[in-house]
Amino acid sequence: MADAFRERLGHDFGEPELLAQALTHRSHGARHNERLEFMGDAVLNCVVALSLYERHPRTDEGDLSRARASLVNRDTLARIARQLGLGEAIRLGEGELRSGGADRGSILADALEAVFGAVFVDAGFEAARRVIAAAYGDELAQSDPEALAKDPKTRLQEWLQARRVAVPEYAIVGTHGEAHAQQFAVECRIPALGIVAPGAGTSRRAAEQDAADRAWAEVTAQAAGGRRDRSS
């Protein structure tokens, strides 16, 4: 599993034990990933800040800061970790495994930061910058600080209202996990556009924001498709 994850990550570690440590949760053993997470948090913030600074030379500090916060928050990190299949590679203690820790947003987000930290320690800033840019993909390439400065629910609602489409409906479709680590599953529904986007989080609000973010990706993809159709 770790080999497949390393291939998706796109970095050949000179010290493979760094990746093993980055993928080890504290519940699994003493040599866990929290020190690498500390490094990864710093390098991720730097890479994202530099990318936004270079891409948006006319954007002020306030909007850049809010955009960075949106790109490096736990929900965004967990979503990218799932896209990379990190949950299949992470090493957890038996208790965390039984309680669904391999798909828990906080564990995934922290582990992904640790992976970024491991790349930085292994090969330096440029290697970490390349890996982060690849992992974030369009999140960075198409970043809009004004839009990112707003939380996903607000951004989605304003976009729909501007086009006279009814605002989304949010519904809890399930909960799981122990009371101290409960996960909420939510759907963001936009019937007029045929969109039902799932979301998950450790609170109803976080799950709704995650679902809104996924719905936003769908509505913008639909809009881009419509523009291409009209131009062909």
- Residues annotated as catalytic are 41, 113
152-162 vs 204-231: helix crossing angle, rounded to 10: 40
Residue in the structure block whose two tokens are 């570690």: 13
17-51 residues labelled b (16+ CB within 10 A) or e (exposed) = ebbbbbbbbebbeeebbeebbebbbebbebbbbeb
- Which tokens in the block code for residue 9? 């990550």
- In sequence order, what are the residues at sequence separation of 6 or more whose Cβ sits closer than 8 angstroms to the Cβ of residue 95? 27
Q: What angle do CA 210, 214, 216 make, to 5 degrees?
A: 115
* Residue 55 one-letter amino acid: R
The Cα 85–Cα 176 span in angstroms is: 21
The Cα 86–Cα 112 span in angstroms is: 8
| SS3 at position 146 | helix
- Measured between alpha carbons, how far apart are the two ends of the chain, in Å? 43
